Amino acid sequence: MIDFATARRMMVDGQVRPNDVTDLRITAAMLKLPRERFLPLAKADLAYLDLDIPILDGADGRPARRMLKPMLLAKLIQAAAVQENDVVLDVGCATGYSSAILARLGHSVIALEEEPSLAARAKENLAAFGVNNASVAMGPLAGGWPAGAPYDVIVLQGATEVEPRALFPQLRDGGRLVCVRGGSAAGKAMIYRRVETDVSGRPVFDAAAAVLPGFTATPAFVF
């Protein structure tokens, strides 16, 4: 039987800290939260491996979904520089692990999910761990959640093949959006920042992740 507490420490010490994650609030949150509890029982043994874990297999026509590897999640959150008064939108929260981490850093979190079974798990998990400053919203991921805007931080829990322009108006002046741009191994983690009405982005590190539903590029017409 796996000693999950030891595996959790090894994850932080072997994957997160060596990849330039220096924000002690992030590592403390990852050490505290039992990641295995946010996975299907059959996948719990994979919780602390350095990989994107399948949490929805894509059966019945539903898009397959994966939980971001710990190192990538930590680096994205660190790039967003979440502050204690920030309002955060967590796009594609899945079973709520990322939202629980973000809730320990910011003022409040809206955990957005479009798959009903995942949204239900997220609600159960956040309640089980007493996360009272995060709420789950259901709707298409690509549309964000305008009812809770403006946000200081928006985090995409997966990749996007297109610039996420639909989410830019939901950022507060000075707000940041972090995501992985491109679903291939040649992808880049991006940070977009809004200054008044302008939004500009820059790459911050190499990254790859599964593309979130609604964030795929439209196939180009070929003559």
Is residue 17 a part of any domain in this protein? yes
Q: How many helices (H) and strands (E) does the chain have?
A: 5, 9
Taking residue 139's Cβ as centre, other Cβ atoms within 10 Å add up to: 14
Provide the CATH number for the domain around residue 187: 3.40.50.150
The confidence score (pLDDT) of residue 220 equals 56
The confidence score (pLDDT) of residue 50 equals 95
Domain residues for the domain of 90 are 4-206
Is residue 155 a part of any domain in this protein? yes
Give CA–CA dist 15/128, Å, rounded: 27
Is residue 216 a part of any domain in this protein? no
- 189 Cβ contact partners less than 8 Å away, ≥ 6 residues apart: 72, 75, 76, 79, 178, 179, 180, 181, 203, 204, 205, 206, 207
Question: Could you tell me the pLDDT band of residue 82, with boundaries at 50, 70 and 90?
Answer: very high
Tokens of 7: 């595996």
Is residue 146 a part of any domain in this protein? yes
Tokens of 48: 């602390």
Let me know how long the chain is: 223
Is residue 67 a part of any domain in this protein? yes
Give CA–CA dist 82/107, Å, rounded: 9
Mean pLDDT of 165-193: 93
Give CA–CA dist 68/210, Å, rounded: 8
Q: Is 222 helix (H, G, I), strand (E, B) or coil?
A: coil
Is residue 222 a part of any domain in this protein? no
Query: How many CA atoms does the CB half-sphere of 84 hold within 13 Å?
Result: 1
147-167 core/surface letters (b: 16 or more CB in 10 A; e: else): ebbbbbbbbbbbbbeeebeeb
pTM: predicted TM-score of the whole model, two decimal places: 0.95
Q: How many domains does the chain have?
A: 1
Is residue 212 a part of any domain in this protein? no
Whether residue 53 contacts residue 67, with contact meaning beta carbons closer than 8 Å, is answered with yes
Mean pLDDT, the chain, whole residue set: 94
Is residue 136 a part of any domain in this protein? yes
Q: What is the pLDDT of residues 114-157, one digit of tens each?
A: 999 999 999 999 999 999 999 999 999 999 999 999 999 999 99
Angle made by CA atoms 32, 46, 141, in degrees to the nearest 5: 80
Q: What is the pLDDT of residues 40-71, one digit of tens each?
A: 999 999 999 999 999 988 777 677 899 999 99
